Amino acid sequence: MDQVTALPALEQPASRADRVYDSLRRAILEGTLPPGRALVERELGEMLGVSKTPVREALKLLRSTGLVEMNAYQGVSVRRLDEHTVSEVYTARSTVEPAAVRLAVERHDVPDWTSARQTLEEAETLRRRGETTSLVIANRRFHRELYAGCGNDLLCGFLDQLQDLTAFVATAGWRVRATFEQEAAEHEAMLRSAEAGDAAEAERLTRAHIDGATRTLLEMFRGAEPQA
């Protein structure tokens, strides 16, 4: 088993389980806990200075995001990545997210796009600093700012469930081929269309953005062994 000497420092969300979840989530996205890595409650608890109970609760939350998976004999490990996983995640996004963005732009009572603009500016700062993990999280927040105003809780809930898994796939892809600048330019175009109230163009650009990322990621993963 690979040895992990340190995990990201615990931050201060609401509960101890939340703090453990936040640390493990970030470790997975950063690759400190790589795909295929076994997640043993006792070992993780010792690393983080907590009992097994909040670790167990955190792992349940991580399972719901798709970042970890159950193995034989009820073992838990970081999800392995392969072409099939990439295709499933991005096909689901391409089918639903562009329509949700269009609905958000069409709604007259949707809030302004100030938060989306601020998030995009934050992402640009992170890109310049080379803070990859924080950047991918900011990018996911930006996407949510675009679709969250669609007025359909089912659509938002579905897309929210994909957020962490999308970040996981994107981060793994960036380690092979960095596409930061291209994605930043596409995000800017998507936001400008939303700000202009052009729902059809915002939908088109969102779909093109997701489909382009799909092609790039599949080229990276196609024919490769599952990441472990």
Span 19-34, average pLDDT: 91
Looking at the domain assignment, is residue 11 inside a domain? no
Distance between CA atoms of 25 and 161, rounded to whole angstroms? 14
Contacts of 128 (CB under 8 A, 6+ apart): none
Instruction: Tell me: do 179 and 109 sit in the same domain.
Output: yes
Instruction: Tell me: do 99 and 74 sit in the same domain.
Output: no
Only one residue has tokens 């009992």, namely: 51
Which helix (H) or strand (E) segment holds residue 161: the answer is helix 153-176
Q: What is the pLDDT of residue 75?
A: 87
Q: What is the pLDDT of residue 13?
A: 44
Mean pLDDT of the residues in the chain: 89
Return the CATH number at 56. 1.10.10.10
Distance between CA atoms of 209 and 203, rounded to whole angstroms? 10
Are 184 and 127 in contact, with CB atoms under 8 Å apart? yes
Instruction: Tell me: do 215 and 187 sit in the same domain.
Output: yes
Give the Cα-Cα-Cα angle 133, 37, 215 (nearest 5 degrees): 55
Q: What is the pLDDT of residue 112?
A: 85
Q: How many residues does the chain have?
A: 228
Are 36 and 80 in contact, with CB atoms under 8 Å apart? yes
Domain termination site, one of 78, 99, 124: 78
Domain termination site, one of 36, 55, 78: 78
Amino acid in position 160:
D
Q: Which of 183, 195, 104, 201 is nearest to 139 (CA)?
A: 183
Instruction: Tell me: do 74 and 102 sit in the same domain.
Output: no
Q: What is the pLDDT of residue 166?
A: 94
Distance between CA atoms of 75 and 73, rounded to whole angstroms? 6
Q: What is the pLDDT of residue 70?
A: 87
Looking at the domain assignment, is residue 228 inside a domain? no
Instruction: Tell me: do 74 and 88 sit in the same domain.
Output: no
pLDDT digits (tens, 9 = 90+) for 123-146: 999 999 989 889 999 999 999 999
Give the Cα-Cα-Cα angle 84, 88, 89 (nearest 5 degrees): 120
pLDDT digits (tens, 9 = 90+) for 160-174: 999 999 999 998 888
Q: What is the pLDDT of residue 109?
A: 65
pLDDT digits (tens, 9 = 90+) for 50-103: 999 999 999 999 999 999 998 877 689 999 988 999 999 999 999 999 999 999
Structure confidence at residue 110 as a pLDDT band (50, 70, 90): low
Long-range contacts of 172-181 (CB under 8 A, 24+ apart): 172/31, 172/35, 172/81, 172/227, 173/213, 173/216, 173/217, 173/220, 174/132, 174/136, 175/31, 176/220, 177/216, 177/220, 179/213, 179/216, 180/127, 180/135, 181/127
Return the CATH number at 211. 1.20.120.530
What is the bridge-based pairing of β-strands 76-78 and 68-70? antiparallel
